[in-house]
Amino acid sequence: MFSKILIANRGEIAIRIIRALSEMGIKSVAVYSNADKNSLHRYLADESICIGSEDASDSYLRADRIISAALLTGAKAIHPGYGFLSENEDFASLCEENGIAFIGPGSALMRKLSDKTRMKEIAKDAGLDTIPGTSILSSLEEAKERAKEIGYPVMLKARSGGGGRGIRLVEDDDQMEKAYPIARNEAEQSFSDGALYLEKYIASASHIEVQILADEFGNAVSFAERDCSMQRNHQKLIEESPSAKVSEEERALLMEKTRKAAIKMGYRNAGTMEFLFSSDRKFYFMEMNVRLQVEHPVSEILSSIDIVKWQIRIAAGIPLSFTTKDVRTKGAAIECRINALSTGEIEELHIPGGPFVRFDTYIEKGALVSPYYDSLLGKLIVYAQTRDEAIRKMRAYLCELQIVGVKTNIEQQLMILKNPDFISGTYDTMSMERIND
């Protein structure tokens, strides 16, 4: 097992990883920017080192400085968290070249799976259904031509990255004229990769994803699906597991198919396979995220399995000690993402507590919410024996959660939890648009 691990991230995910390392008896190293010099993750770690200025491009995206920090502190491995360099195969390769373990699938596999259009072909070979679409587009004219072949409406998507950036719903040629350059520039600015492709738009679909863990010995485990359909502008707001829309038979089949697909593609460490669940009850594979997901606590609290600890064990060459049959799928778990709608200082903070509730956050009284990074303040997660009870529980804890000093989306989350479509479980990826209308 590693004696010391550096966390190449910040905020709530850095704290989440530091706590796992502490429980495992592993020393932790935090990196921080000038904007985060007083951030909680710096002080919870055993060591910390500054890697640059406020801009992520001069700090958390500087692979060379992160590697130097690891070498300087004697860290034996790097956990990238999510975002920043977590899906950057060049960073993973740089770790390997310097004798530092990268806690993820490794550079070769990341390179193989990073191209989403190529990943779809791999998924097909592994027995998964895929959405009709194109390879990488060479021009706006090709985009319009191929969109007519597929049939409007289509989704215009960036090859790299995630978080809803570089994605546009396009319904005709006129919209394509406007959307193509915007999506390309957005992808270029966000991921330094402006490559785009098309997929057929699946109406009234649900966004379903399956958490995977796989070791180097050919073992893979699938968790119960997470429903991430409640989103705005392709940004997830609420996740729950299991989905209210998926039957037990469909769940068992999906878990087995994803487990086999992970083994066939030679996957290693934690990853997530994302699907659109259509109105005719077909799971269409979209992409695979080769990193830890923001919403991983939903699967953890439902299954009672610590995914971050298993990421570390797998990277250290330890085989999985359980199978998919051992993964608990009973009960209901819900996660609400608490986002800042303004910047400023946290003047007062009250975090609710109770059985089967957790709040993953980096904020404390006096903490500064800066404009430089993602607006996520934390994630409130609850578990209950039934979905109805979990919804009531989440409402109660959202009402108790008090964050003073910055505006948040807590009221929006409460509005969603009271919406009839959410209560009935019939919501889809366009429900937020209908709610706001």
Give just the sign of the alpha carbon dihedral 369, 270, 353, 336: positive
143 CB contacts (<8 Å, ≥6 apart)? 137, 156, 176, 180, 196, 198
Nearest to 292 by CA among 2, 4, 14: 14
For 152-282, where are the E strands, in sequence order?
A: 154-158, 168-170, 196-200, 206-214, 220-222, 226-232, 235-241, 269-277
For residue 131, what are the CA distances in angstroms to 124, 155, 275? 10, 11, 9
Q: Which of helix, strand or coil describes residue 127?
A: coil
Cβ neighbours, 10 Å, residue 305? 18
Tokens matching residue 119? 């990943």
What is residue 133's DSSP assignment? B
Q: Which of helix, strand or coil describes residue 378?
A: strand
CA distance 57 to 162: 17
Nearest to 336 by CA among 253, 406, 264, 414: 414
Report yes or no: 230 and 336 within 8 Å, Cβ to Cβ: no
Residue 304 backbone dihedrals phi, psi, to 5 degrees: 65, 30
Give just the sign of the alpha carbon dihedral 158, 164, 168, 169: positive
CA distance 166 to 186: 5
Cβ neighbours, 10 Å, residue 437? 5
142 CB contacts (<8 Å, ≥6 apart)? none
CA distance 324 to 259: 8
Active site residues: 291
Instruction: Using CA atoms of 266, 267, 272, 274 in order, give the dihedral in degrees to the nearest 10.
Output: -20
